[in-house]
Amino acid sequence: MLTAHLSDGKTLNLAAGVFQPSSLHELRKTASFYCPVCQKPMDLKLGSIKAFHFAHKRNADCPYTGEPESKLHLEGKTQLYEWLNGQTEVLLEPYLKELNQRPDLLAAGAAAIEYQCSLLDQQLFDKRNAAYRDNGYEPIWILGGTRIARLSSSLFRFSAFHWQCTRIGADHFRPYLLSYSPGSKTFLRLSHLIPFSKTSVFARQEYLHLDRISFKSLLSPPAQGSFPFKNWAAKVKKHRMSPHFRLSAEAAYLKNVLYNEKSIPFSCIPSYAFLPLLSGCCFESSVYVWQTRLLLWINRQPLSCFFHAEEAVRHAAMLVTRRQLFIRRLPHWTASESISLPVSDYLDALSQLGYLQKEEEKYKKTGKLNWRGDPEALIEEDQCLLSRFISECDLAPHIN
């Protein structure tokens, strides 16, 4: 905790940058410090390892039970406060009594900023988010700089915790993620998030130094950005050439379906099942799982008959109910939206690529899909289809 009340009711803010260590040591000898929430006495900690901070005395009973704060958390919160203080009105650790919550920072009276350096239980996260929104505050979650694992130059490992901390830009609905490293005073902004599997996510990365970006700009990622199509193609090739011993439950089920219905191995999924759609983040199941399940359903439709997009959405929803597909818990959309968005985008992409014909909200197949078991030919087809997807499909991630 970086703030405390003095005996006269004034607030002592350790992040204000006006105190020298020697003056704080002298102040600690004569002054008393009190918790802004429970008004009980606190200690001023002036150690050499952890950042200067206040702490409740042992066995203190405070109605607000926050998380233990690491050195990283205290340093990052201090730097973010100093950064915001030059741009807008900002409060450090304000106690919002009606919520019984204490965000790290409250900017412009409405933006509740949480600098999250540890994992947070989903139930507690939902409770905090709902309380902020129900009372007119906008929650903004910024992760500690060590909380994001990079797998390659454009591929990252995401958990449910990362997805729950994503937010949406004002001018478009695609999610992005923010983190901050106090050591380098740099934000990492990951946007254009397109998952390949449950945990591996391709993203556009931007490193933004604290002194070179404003709060408003930080929350406004570009609607357009480059996407590493070569890396995506390499990931598809690796999937085709690697053995598949450890599969998720829904992928293992699909493997059996492919063998029973099409007599092909799991590595020979059609190229149409690897389209990098931005709305694909709604599905927790791997891209090749949810897209192949839709391709199998489309394949069963009569060649000359139209079907409605709602039919495909209902089929996907049924697979979710049967736990043969999984949607991702996102703070931005309802469960029904998380199914309808990617399914509709996928049908439109297939129509723009010529596999489907679209009339209003109805679709029909233009021909039969070739389900074959030749990995080398499929790798070449993957490259050709991805090139067409980039050049012909307006659902492809934009290129600068």
User: What are 354-398's pLDDT values in tens digits?
Assistant: 999 999 889 999 988 888 878 889 999 999 999 999 998 888 886
| Cβ proximity of 208 and 177 under 8 Å | no
Render pLDDT for 13-49 as a digit per residue (tens, 0 to 9): 777 665 667 777 767 777 877 777 777 777 778 776 6
Residue ranges of E strands in 25-147: 33-34, 41-45, 53-56, 90-92, 105-107, 111-116, 138-144
Residue type, 242: S
Return the structure tokens found at 256: 């059996």
β-bridge partners, 207: 188
Render pLDDT for 175-226 as a digit per residue (tens, 0 to 9): 999 999 999 999 999 998 999 999 999 999 999 999 999 999 999 888 776 7
β-bridge partners, 140: 113
> Cα–Cα distance between 74 and 170 in angstroms, integer?
29
| Cβ proximity of 256 and 293 under 8 Å | no
Q: Where are the domains of the chain?
A: 3-56, 74-220, 230-392
> Cα–Cα distance between 272 and 350 in angstroms, integer?
8
> Whole-number mean pLDDT of the chain?
87
Q: Give the number of C-alpha atoms closer than 13 A to the C-alpha of residue 204, restricted to the C-beta side.
A: 18
What pLDDT, on a 0 to 100 scale, did the predictor assign at position 292?
97
> Cα–Cα distance between 41 and 7 in angstroms, integer?
10
What pLDDT, on a 0 to 100 scale, did the predictor assign at position 48?
65
> Cα–Cα distance between 158 and 199 in angstroms, integer?
5
Render pLDDT for 69-91 as a digit per residue (tens, 0 to 9): 777 888 899 999 999 998 999 99
The residues, any chain, with a CB within 8 Å of residue 88's CB and separated by 6 or more, are: 107, 108, 215
Return the structure tokens found at 367: 């021909």
Render pLDDT for 86-143 as a digit per residue (tens, 0 to 9): 899 999 888 888 888 889 999 988 999 999 988 888 888 888 889 999 999 999 999 9
> Over pLDDT 90: what percentage of the chain?
55
Higher pLDDT, 115 or 63: 115
